[in-house]
């Protein structure tokens, strides 16, 4: 059981107009948190592969991804209400049908709602790095959550992370190495360097990407592929 939260509930006053959007439209795109495995066909009414974005922030990037990738269904998980509302606005304006939102802690959503071997890609753009030593325990991507994530990926499914924290990156890489077992293992499916010129083919319209780029900080891409070894798994 994970009792340490990877986020602080930042208080932001919600404007009346935001409340109206939330009250009128959230139900249409929301998947309620429940301790029960989801049936994606009942949600999307098709069998398209599923991509999950954890901590999509204000939602710019997930909206771009969704619009440019209609061949997938997307689930965005976020705990930041103004971000959820901003994303909701864009869903409505763009008449998006292949994206659902879950307003809850991603740890429990992934653990309790997502079927094993069901997800094509799980992506996290700039997960909160919690750089101070005393806060590191708050990081979301620790061994137990990484194990859960890999259970949920289909064979050849991908985990994609982008971060500007070298220490977080190194911890994730060493944890991933440790969790391979007799049933499945993970291969680094891609190598990137830190140069921004590589990014043209990717969609990185996230608030944090733009901030980090302005600060000319290094960023690190982590992309792993799950390979199932045991057919019965
Ligand atoms: C540093 S921000 C990055 C936002 C966005 N991906 C970007 O690149 O601009 C991290 C986001 O993760 C969200 N977050 C942190 N822990 C979470 C959790 N356990 N479940 C869902 N969202 C979480 C935060 O609310 C925040 O919006």
Mutate-to-test residue for ligand 1 from 5, 12, 57, 82, highest number of ligand atoms within 8 A of CB: 57
SS3 (DSSP) at 227: strand
- The one-character DSSP state at 15 is P
What's the gap in Å between 56 CA and the centre of ligand 1?
6
Is 163 close to ligand 1, i.e. is its CB under 6 Å away? no
Q: Is the Cβ–Cβ distance between 119 and 159 less than 8 Å?
A: no
| pLDDT tens, residue by residue, 59-73 | 999 999 899 889 999
* 128 flagged as catalytic: yes
Q: Is the Cβ–Cβ distance between 13 and 146 less than 8 Å?
A: no
Cα-based distances in Å from 69 to 51, 65, 66, 217: 10, 6, 5, 29
The closest-lying atom of ligand 1 relative to the alpha carbon of residue 10 is 25
| Per-residue pLDDT at 181 | 75
SS3 (DSSP) at 204: coil
- Of 128, 164, 167, 178, which residue is the catalytic one? 128
Is 126 close to ligand 1, i.e. is its CB under 6 Å away? yes
Domain residue spans in the chain?
A: 44-228
CA separation for the pair 49, 105 (Å, rounded): 23
Torsions phi, psi for 74 (to 5 deg): -120, 145
Is 213 close to ligand 1, i.e. is its CB under 6 Å away? no
What's the gap in Å between 16 CA and the centre of ligand 1?
24
CA separation for the pair 226, 180 (Å, rounded): 9
Segments in the chain below pLDDT 50: 191-201
Q: Which CATH topology does 44-228 take? A: Rossmann fold (3.40.50)
């Amino acid at each position: 059981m994970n009792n340490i939260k990877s986020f602080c509930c930042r208080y932001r006053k919600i404007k009346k107009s935001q409340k109206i959007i939330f009250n009128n439209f959230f139900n249409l795109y929301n998947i309620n948190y429940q301790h029960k495995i989801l049936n994606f066909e009942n949600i999307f009414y098709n069998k398209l592969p599923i991509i999950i974005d954890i901590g999509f922030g204000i939602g710019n990037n997930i909206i771009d991804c969704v619009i440019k990738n209609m061949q997938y269904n997307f689930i965005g998980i976020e705990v930041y209400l103004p971000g959820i509302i901003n994303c909701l606005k864009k869903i409505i304006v763009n008449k998006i049908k292949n994206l659902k939102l879950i307003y809850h802690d991603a740890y429990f959503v992934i653990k309790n709602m997502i079927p094993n071997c069901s997800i094509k890609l799980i992506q996290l753009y700039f997960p909160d790095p919690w750089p101070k030593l005393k806060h590191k325990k708050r990081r979301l991507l620790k061994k137990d959550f990484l194990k859960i994530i890999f259970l949920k990926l289909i064979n050849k499914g991908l985990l994609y992370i982008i971060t500007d924290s070298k220490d977080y990156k190194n911890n994730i890489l060493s944890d991933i190495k440790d969790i391979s077992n007799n049933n499945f293992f993970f291969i680094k499916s891609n190598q990137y360097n830190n140069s921004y010129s590589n990014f043209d083919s990717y969609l990185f319209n996230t608030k944090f990407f733009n901030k980090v780029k302005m600060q000319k900080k290094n960023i690190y891409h982590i992309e792993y592929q799950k390979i199932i070894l045991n057919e019965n798994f």
